[in-house]
Each structure stands twice: as structure tokens, then as C-alpha cells.
Amino acid sequence: MAFQNFGLDTITSMSAEVKVTDPNANVTTLTATYAGALAPLDYDTVMVGTINTYAGGTYSFLGYTQLANDGRTSNDTMNFSSYYLPFEPVVTGMVDTVCASQDSVTLAAVAVPGTTYGWFNSLTDTTILAQGDTYTVPTSGQSSYFVQFLNTADSAETPIPGGNGQSGNMFNIINTSGAPLSITGFAQGPGSGNSSVTGAAMIVYYTPGDYTTQSAASWSQIASGTVNLTASATTGYLPVSVTIPAGATYGFYVGLTSGSVQYTNGTGTAGVSPWYIHPKFTITEGLGGAYPNPVNSPRCWNGQVFFGSSGCSNIRKEVSFAINTDTAVAVGSGVETNPSTGLFDFDATGSSGHVFNWSFGDGATGSGMMTQHNYGTAGMYTVSLVVTDTVCGTSDSTSFQVTSTISVGENGLNQVVRAFPNPSNGQVVVSISGAEAFEGSIQVVNGVGQILVNEPVAKQDGVVEIPMDLRNLPKGVYTIRLSGEQGESNLRVVLQ
């Protein structure tokens, strides 16, 4: 932490504290005590601690000092945020997300502002397969690739006509790239009158914001050095490190501490009108003269901007995928669990999939791995099951037959009437039981109402069992009708 003594007395002891909030909202508190001799208006620093920014991201800092008998407390706090690059690539795994039917898959690394990824076949391969946050590869062949940060460099040179001279230029760079833009250096154009200059003392300043609205206190020197200027060229290079956020405008001053550099007269508004347009940024017309107060307007800078991306390491991280071979399989069965009501339990637990749709053969449908259905009439029904795997969209179907017996039929008698076995091969026993004795007749009727069997039943008490041999009848559904003084009962039977 850096601080300045605005008081009248020398500071010999002062506590300092910094609260650091990481990208996951975790707060770390760092503390220290300054012990020295800080004279009035002097600056000094104190180390309060360290934080680990390996994973990268935006960190927020809230720092303050506490001085005994402090006469002014309004300037004891600082608050700022800073973005840090991750030390190694941040990758996204794609296990079991690729379907067998896919021809290609897009691998991805998490986008990090101000960086560029390179994709490689292996940990040691030197050939860059692709650049960018994503890489689309075929699903056939290898399933693992490697990604790392690249140190890329690019540059753009303004026009350098004209021959007039001045100390330097102040101008804006507007980031239009849609992503953070890393400025890595400036190269100054010719000296005054398109001349070559040896041993020129070059300086670069910047301010985070439009220079036309920024105060003098917001400017910082970011580079200085001795360079050689060349006629009709941009050779006076100084490295810098400034990242302009997406859509932001930063002000710069590039010039000499003594001597003159070439410029071009502008035709528009300083700080606004474009002088040089690149696909990623725009350099505006600006002011000409000595730092910090150039006054000649509009003047256009002659030089070259260097920009690109950088990474904190050359670590390669593996990005891999696995083919999801799961496919839908339909296996279903049905069991009559209550013959008196035609209730069936249907089961698809032997299937593989996520969605189960049933068609019960009588116009009704259902869903679920296990479900139930009541048939209204006895008979044979074709049940269909469709199973869908929702991950990769595969489906499978199967069908099977069930026979509903509904053993207790439409009963107008004060009796319990059953038939067994049902279904049968034609040998059926009809059972009659009730509180009253039964006397009447028994008939077998086919589907069109034709009476095929008609036999009397003598009056009997208790349980009456009537064996019937219907093997001479075609397979199908028949009605056994019992008629007596108390009424009539109809029982459906199935012959197989």
C-alpha cells in the first residue's frame, strides 16, 4: 500500500488494512503496521500481504489506514478493482456429451479477456491447429487435444505524410474490437520535416478515458527511452502494457522530451474525428505540442501501434470428449392383476431410455416406465411401447399382445359368476355361487349375437360348477349368458 503524509508532523507508526474480494466473493483481510519516519508531504509504502491470483478474474481492493490523532480522515480510504489473467488456460470438459450420430464436436476453453488460445495435437506438438476460444474437430479419430495461451503480436501504421514538426501528439484510441485490446508498444514516425534523428528521448503517457475529459492527475507515464527516428518510417519503438476494455476510449501522448517529430494537420475535431481506422480500434485526431499541455489543434500522430495478446504461462491443458453410445431400447410386458375390472400392470423396467409412451390397443394411451390400464371389455389387445433417449434423441419401439378376461361380467343376478381358466383352449368351468339357489339356463353367444350353446341349469344351492367343452368353436371372444328368475348375467371368455 502506498500513502502520503499530508500532515505537519512526521509519521512514525500507522496501521494499514486491505480487504480483497476475489471473483467468488471470498474476502481476505490483509493487515500491517508502518514503522518508519514519513516526513510531511513525503510518500512511502508498506507491504500488507499477498494474494493468489492463479485462477485469474476481477479482484476488488478496499484499503484504509488508521493514524492516531489523524486531523483529516476523509482521505484514508482507497477502493479499486483489477483484472488478472489466469496463469493457465481455463478449459471446459465435454465427457459424455457427444452423440454417436454427430460428425463433429466443438471443443471450448473459457474466454479470457486480452488473451488468445492456440490448439495443438499433443503436449509437445509445435504446429498450431487453430486459434480462438473454440475448435471444431471430427468425432472420428483422436478425442483429446491441447490448448494454451499464445503470445500474439500485430501492428498498425498510420499514414505518415507531411513534414511539419512538434514535440509530440495527444490522441484517443477507441477500442471497437468487442473485446479487451492490449496495447503492447508505440513506434514514433520520422523527426520534424521527415528527418532521421539519432538518440531521441521518447516518452509515452496514457489516461484511462477520453483525454478531452480527463484531468492532469489521471495521466501516467508508461514508457520512456532513447530511440532512433528514420525518415519515411516508424522505427522509434517503446514497449508498453495497457489494456483498453471493450468499447472504451483511452488517451495517449507520444512524443519527445526535446526535439520535434513529424505530424499531419487534421481536418476535424480533436479527440473525436477519426485519423486512422483499424478493424479493432480507431485513432482520433488530437493535439500537438509539449506534454502535458499540447495546444495545437487538430494535429494527427504519425506512428505505429503494436497490439496483441499475452498469457502468463505456456502450460497446455487437455480438452477431451467421449462418445455417448447410449441408445434407446424398448422392452415391455403386461400382466392382468385384477380380472374382475380388467386392470393390467405394464412394466418397461427392462428398457433403456428416459421417456416411455404406451398405446394400449383400445385407443387409450399412457406414459411412464411403469403404468396401469383398465380394459372395458374382454379380448386380445396389441400394446405398443415407444422409448426415447433424450440425450441423443434415439428411440426404439416394441409391441406385444395381452388378453383381458374381465372374469366377473355384467351381473344382474344375485350371484357371483366366474369362468376359469380364462383365456382357455375351450375347456371352461363356469362357477355360480350366491346366497340364493340358482335355476335357469346357460348360453354361449358369439360376437354377432348368435346363440351357439343353450342348456338348462337345475336349481341348486351353494357353489355350482358347470363344465363346458367349447373346443369346437373358433378362437375368439364369446359371451356366456346366465338367465334366471332373478335376472341375467353376461360373462366374457376368450378361447385361444
Helix or strand or coil: residue 330? coil
Asked whether 108 and 164 are in contact (CB, 8 A), the reply is no
Closest CA to 23 of 64, 63, 51, 65: 51
Asked whether 181 and 242 are in contact (CB, 8 A), the reply is no
- CA–CA–CA angle 196, 198, 203 (5° rounding): 100
Q: Domain range holding 231?
A: 154-309
Q: Is residue 411 pLDDT above 70, yes or no? A: no
pLDDT band at 266 (very low <50, low <70, confident <90, very high): very high
Q: What radius of gyration, in Å, describes the C-alpha atoms of the chain?
A: 45
395 and 431 belong to one structural domain: no
Chain centroid to CA 307: how far? Answer: 30
Length of the chain as a residue count: 496
Interatomic CA distance for residues 484 and 481, integer angstroms = 10
Residue 179 has phi, psi (to 5 degrees) of -145, 165
Counting the structural domains of the chain, the total is 4
168 and 77 belong to one structural domain: no
Over residues 390-402, the mean pLDDT reads: 92
Interatomic CA distance for residues 418 and 463, integer angstroms = 11
Say which CATH number the domain at 189 has.
2.60.120
pLDDT tens digits, 32-61: 999 999 999 898 888 999 999 998 888 999
Asked whether 306 and 186 are in contact (CB, 8 A), the reply is yes
389 and 415 belong to one structural domain: no
Say which CATH number the domain at 355 has.
2.60.40.10
pLDDT tens digits, 416-453: 677 888 788 989 988 887 657 778 889 998 876 788 99
In a domain, 66, yes or no: yes
Asked whether 320 and 135 are in contact (CB, 8 A), the reply is no
Choosing from 384, 404, 424, the residue where a domain stops is: 404
Asked whether 91 and 318 are in contact (CB, 8 A), the reply is yes
211 and 289 belong to one structural domain: yes
In a domain, 107, yes or no: no
Residue whose C-alpha cell reads 488508521 in the numeric block: 66
230 and 360 belong to one structural domain: no
Choosing from 84, 104, 128, the residue where a domain stops is: 84
Over residues 105-117, the mean pLDDT reads: 83
pLDDT tens digits, 332-364: 998 877 776 778 999 998 899 999 999 999 999
Interatomic CA distance for residues 186 and 157, integer angstroms = 10
**Beta partners for residue 175, in sequence order:** 281
| Highest-pLDDT range among 88-102, 176-190, 232-246, 264-278 | 264-278
Q: What pLDDT score does 247 carry?
A: 92
In a domain, 327, yes or no: no
Ranges 85-89, 110-114, 242-246, 296-300: which has the least confidence: 110-114
Strands 94-99 and 317-324, by their bridges, are parallel
In a domain, 99, yes or no: no
Closest CA to 310 of 239, 208, 227: 239
456 and 365 belong to one structural domain: no
390 and 422 belong to one structural domain: no
Burial of 117 (0-12, 13-18, 19+ CB in 10 A): buried
Over residues 170-176, the mean pLDDT reads: 97
266 and 365 belong to one structural domain: no
